[in-house]
């Protein structure tokens, strides 16, 4: 018997059907593999007052929060997380969760998961998904007033590149405060590539800063395009953390 390995042409991940039910007639199948070009076009369409308005209200971000996960981009990062926590109970905060794709996958694997993001289209989709799945998991809207409890681990994927340099450092300190260990990916590149969507991320500068302030482990993936940075005070989960 021969099995076909891999999706057929024009296949989309079944999790997008949840988004289709949520959006109804507004659902756009052409955005299921939302490219950076689609994000750039939407960011610069004139519909948004500023970057914060775009992050909160663009549906591109909702599509991408599913698409990046279902394309396997985060697979090596999650493999490392599972390796580090395979024999320990663990509470995880999915920080900058978007539609919750990463956190929902971790919940399925038995982790105690909470979610945090800006009040946005993506966060409202996440709340709807949890209701549809009858899952009672904590969801926090990030604000100055919101108190988010401490977790064993914070996962922060595909967040830093959407923050200006000052906010990048704020997110690093905030996630370190919220978890004993932080798993964060950094995407190398200039903000000039996608104005209004991505900011410049100085991976080496951030790594040096984090290494000087916390125990740290890192590894580059996809050539040197992305870096997984693991840091925090609870870094005994990584034997060779410096």
pLDDT in tens, the chain (242 residues): 444 444 555 567 788 889 999 999 988 877 777 666 677 777 778 888 887 788 888 888 788 878 777 778 899 999 999 998 888 889 999 999 999 999 999 999 999 999 999 999 999 999 999 999 999 999 999 987 789 999 999 999 999 988 888 999 999 999 999 999 999 999 987 565 556 677 889 999 999 999 999 999 999 999 989 999 999 988 676 655 55
DSSP track, 176-189: HHHEEEEEEEEE-B
* 160 and 205 Cβ atoms separated by less than 8 Å: no
Q: How far is Cα 97 from Cα 12, in angstroms, rounded to an integer? A: 21
**Which residue intervals of the chain are DSSP H helices?**
15-23, 36-43, 51-57, 59-70, 75-85, 101-108, 121-133, 165-178, 203-213
pLDDT at 185: 96
Residue-level pLDDT at 47: 84
- Range(s) of the chain covered by CATH 3.40.50.150: 73-237
How far apart are the two ends of the chain, measured CA to CA in Å?
A: 50
β partners of residue 153: 92, 181
Q: How far apart are CA 225 and CA 216, in angstroms?
A: 19
Q: pLDDT at position 138, please? A: 97
CA distance 235 to 119: 31
Q: Are 118 and 170 in contact (CB under 8 A)?
A: no
- Decide: pTM greater than 0.95: no
pLDDT tens track for 203-241? 999 999 999 999 999 999 999 899 999 999 886 766 555
At residue 181, the pLDDT reads 95
Phi and psi at 93, nearest 5°, equal -105, 120
The whole-number pLDDT of residue 60 equals 80
pLDDT value for 63: 84
Please name which of 89, 145, 135, 128 lies closest in space to residue 114, comparing C-alpha atoms.
135
Class of the CATH-defined domain 73-237: alpha beta
């Amino acid at each position: 018997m021969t099995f076909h390995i891999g999706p057929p042409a024009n296949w989309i991940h079944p999790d997008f059907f949840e988004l289709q039910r949520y959006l109804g007639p507004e659902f756009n199948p052409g955005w299921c593999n939302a490219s950076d070009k689609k994000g750039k076009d939407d960011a610069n369409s004139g519909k948004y007052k500023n970057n914060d308005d775009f992050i909160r209200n663009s549906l591109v971000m909702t599509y991408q929060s599913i698409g990046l996960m279902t394309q396997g981009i985060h697979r090596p990062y999650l493999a490392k997380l599972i390796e580090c926590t395979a024999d320990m109970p663990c509470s995880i905060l999915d920080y900058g969760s978007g539609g919750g794709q990463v956190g929902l996958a971790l919940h399925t694997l038995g982790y105690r998961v909470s979610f945090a993001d800006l009040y946005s289209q993506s966060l409202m989709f996440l709340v709807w998904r949890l209701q549809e799945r009858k899952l009672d998991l904590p969801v926090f809207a990030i604000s100055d007033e919101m108190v988010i409890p401490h977790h064993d681990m914070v996962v922060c994927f595909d967040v830093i590149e959407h923050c200006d340099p000052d906010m990048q450092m704020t997110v690093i300190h905030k996630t370190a405060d919220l978890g004993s260990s932080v798993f964060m990916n950094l995407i190398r590149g200039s903000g000039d590539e996608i104005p209004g969507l991505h900011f410049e991320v100085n991976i080496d500068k951030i790594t040096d800063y984090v290494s000087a302030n916390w125990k740290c482990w890192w590894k580059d993936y996809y050539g040197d395009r992305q870096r997984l940075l693991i840091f925090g005070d609870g870094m005994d989960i990584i034997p060779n953390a410096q």
